[in-house]
Amino acid sequence: MPVISAPYAFNEGDLYVDLESICGHPLYLKCEAFNFAGSIKLKAANEMVENAERDGILKADSVLVESSSGNLGVALSMIAASKGYRFLCVTDSRCNLSTRLLMEALGSEVHIVADQDSNGGFLGTRIEYVRSLCASDDRYVWLSQYTNVGNWTAHYRTTAPEIARRFPELDVLFVGAGTTGTLMGCARYFREWHRPVRIVAVDAAGSVAFGGEPGRRMIPGLGMSMRPPLLDESFVDEVIQVEEPDTIRMCHRMARHGFLFGGSTGTVVSGATDWLTRHDARDLTAVAIAPDLGERYLDTIYQTNWLHDLYGDQVLATEDGDLVPRTAGDGQVLGTRDTAPAKPLPREPKSASRAPARRRTST
């Protein structure tokens, strides 16, 4: 094991879980939470801070400020504490209590906005507050994960090559969509790969990232109440939207096998399982990315009263009344799909200027 002096210097990027016994289909889950920030967001945070330092934007008296639903805020809190910067995270009421306490334990300030934006989310309000801070004092430095190219180049340089080295015959990659930094970095990398790789974005139902009507979203991590500025849909082959009850059921299903993952991971695995159920996946090499673990969700996704208050007493029940989560989720599919199961690969890569065909279907 390495000996380090800075917490951001360690990040285990080569751990995968074989989920076939849980999901019923061949699926490898890349676990990104084994670092001192506890999530994949460490990669983007480190890249954006280093770029800002190199460009002379960050100075000794600078105050980092960022809008975050949780994980990026923790990563920036850790980096700021290590490097001696002040950090203010602007979040909202959906941010898990344990995440807020963790940021404060690392010495950061946390501001919680209460007013929703025009799409029924909090993102617009958070961004407006950050902008007002920056206008009031030039010591504030906003890295802006929503527009910062370092958000996706971090994954172009690290996450995607890590997957490619372990799975040189990769056929399909499932990536959760929030700011779309991970999605765009991986998609751009595999566009240049030696063989076609199908990129499937997994979004939360109620998100407007890929269009559609906004809806209630209570689980932080994936989904956006605006179109992500970093998103280029020409790199994405399909989009699957997953309902929050399916996210919760998948989290509990994995937990009953000893794997405690977070809400973003439950969403991605539910969407991936649904896709694999509808396709002939026997000869496919499929990988999904797990952004975080589940400890920060103990008072939400894994807390009975929270679940019942928001989703009803039967949120974990299957059709036969059993409380064991189902084998497959039934997320809403926005990408193209044949009526009968079919193996869509191999395919020819699309040109960068061609947007993927998209037809709304239901499952």
Evaluate if residue 319 carries a pLDDT over 70. Answer: no
Percent of the chain whose pLDDT exceeds 90: 75
Mean pLDDT of 160-169: 97
pLDDT of residue 328: 40
Tell me the Cα Rg of the chain. Answer: 20
Measured CA to CA, the distance from residue 175 to residue 163 in angstroms comes to: 12
Q: If pLDDT is split at 50, 70 and 90, which confidence band does 114 have?
A: confident
Residues 76, 232, 191, 334, CA torsion sign: positive
- What is the model's pLDDT at position 324? 46
CA 4 – CA 25 distance, rounded (Å): 38
Lowest mean pLDDT among 64-78, 273-287, 302-316, 330-344: 330-344
Minimum mean pLDDT range among 116-120, 135-139, 261-265, 310-314:
116-120
Query: H/E/C letters for each residue in 222-235?
Result: CCCCCCCCCCCHHH
SS3 293: strand
Tokens of 34: 């084994």
Alpha-carbon distance 291 to 266, whole Å?
10
Residue with tokens 């799975």: 167
- For residues 268 and 175, the answer to whether their CB atoms sit within 8 Å is yes
The mean pLDDT of 140-152, rounded to a whole number, is 96
The mean predicted confidence, pLDDT, of the chain is: 87
What letter does residue 261 receive in the DSSP assignment?
A: B
Q: Which of 167-181, 278-292, 311-325 has the lowest mean pLDDT?
A: 311-325
Residue 264 pLDDT level (bands cut at 50, 70, 90): very high
pLDDT of 335: 46
